[in-house]
């Protein structure tokens, strides 16, 4: 059911019942959603687009190709610094140059067997690692480190992602999910990724 919205006039208070307004024509992103500002930012900056004209799909998982393409666009679509190729990458697809740029800059590596895994889903610790390497590449200050022992699942963090998550948590980019849980292996959604990108790019 729709929420009630209150409109104040000089002499009266009128209550209007209806759905909260949507963001950018996306019927699945409302002005009352916690990720509203982030979605507005990534769309306005050209980092993300919807899955259709009317859907952003905030709860869908983010893929490796989507994430590195957003960062490549945020960086100004720079050329790759070295020639990189993968068996599973079509250089003429929307993600092609972004993936090769990210790999050439050490921001997102392949799997070591000639594959990048463009359509593979990104976990929260993988997202932190890619963002951490992007921040380093852009010369941001990445010295902040949080004590992750406050989370009950700290032991589930992969060794390669520990430093990145310490930084991301200290900067407020990736927070706990309640009940002292960080959920490093949990899948990152499009809404979560948009929010982390918003916090990273708009504030660093």
Query: Residue written as tokens 């009128």?
Result: 14
Confidence (pLDDT) at 204: 59
The region that residue 78 occupies, defined by phi over 0 for left and psi between -120 and 50 for alpha, beta otherwise, is beta
Question: Computed over its alpha carbons, how large is the radius of gyration of the chain?
Answer: 19
Q: What is the pTM of this model?
A: 0.85
Separation between Cα atoms, residue 186 and residue 122, nearest integer Å: 9
CA dist 63 and 99 (Å) reads 12
> Mapped to the 3 state alphabet, what secondary structure does the chain carry?
CCEEEEEECCCCEEEEEECCCEECCEEEEECCCCCHHHHHHHHHCCCCCCCCCCCCCCCCECEHHHHHHHHHHHCCCCCCCCCCCCCCCCCCCCCHHHHHHHHHCCCCCCCCCCCCCCCCECEHHHHHHHHHHHHHHCCCCCCCCCCHHHCCCHHHCCHHHHHHHHHHHHCCCCCCCCCCCCCCCCECEHHHHHHHHHHHHHHC
Q: What is the pLDDT of residue 29?
A: 95
Answer whether 131's CB lies under 8 Å from 167's CB: no
- Contact (Cβ atoms closer than 8 angstroms) between residue 42 and residue 198: yes
pLDDT in 10s for each residue of the chain, 204 residues? 333 333 333 344 433 445 677 887 899 999 999 999 999 999 999 999 999 999 999 999 999 999 999 999 999 999 888 788 899 988 889 999 999 999 999 999 988 889 999 999 999 999 999 999 999 999 999 999 999 999 999 999 999 999 999 999 999 999 998 889 999 999 999 999 999 999 988 765
Q: Give the per-residue pLDDT at 84.
A: 84
pLDDT at res. 181: 96
Look at the block and give the residue holding tokens 């059911």. Answer: 1
CA distance 179 to 21: 32
- Per-residue pLDDT at 149: 96
Per-residue pLDDT, 46: 94
């Amino acid at each position: 059911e729709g929420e009630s919205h209150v409109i104040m006039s000089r002499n009266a208070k009128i209550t209007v019942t209806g759905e909260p307004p949507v963001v950018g024509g996306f019927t699945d992103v409302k002005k009352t959603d916690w990720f509203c500002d982030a979605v507005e930012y990534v769309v306005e900056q050209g980092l993300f687009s919807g899955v259709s004209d009317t859907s952003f799909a905030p709860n869908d998982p983010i893929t490796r190709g989507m994430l590195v393409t957003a960062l490549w666009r945020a960086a100004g679509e720079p050329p790759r610094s070295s020639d990189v190729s993968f068996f599973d990458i079509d250089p003429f697809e929307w993600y092609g140059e972004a993936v090769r740029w990210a790999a050439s800059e050490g921001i997102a590596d392949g799997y070591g067997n000639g594959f990048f895994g463009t359509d593979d889903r990104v976990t929260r610790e993988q997202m932190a690692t890619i963002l951490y390497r992007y921040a380093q590449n852009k010369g941001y200050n990445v010295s902040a480190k949080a004590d992750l022992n406050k989370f009950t699942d700290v032991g589930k963090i992969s060794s390669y992602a520990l430093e990145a998550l310490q930084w991301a948590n200290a900067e407020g980019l990736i927070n706990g999910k309640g009940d002292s849980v960080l959920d490093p292996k949990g899948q990152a959604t499009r809404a979560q990724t948009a929010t982390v990108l918003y916090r990273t790019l708009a504030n660093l």
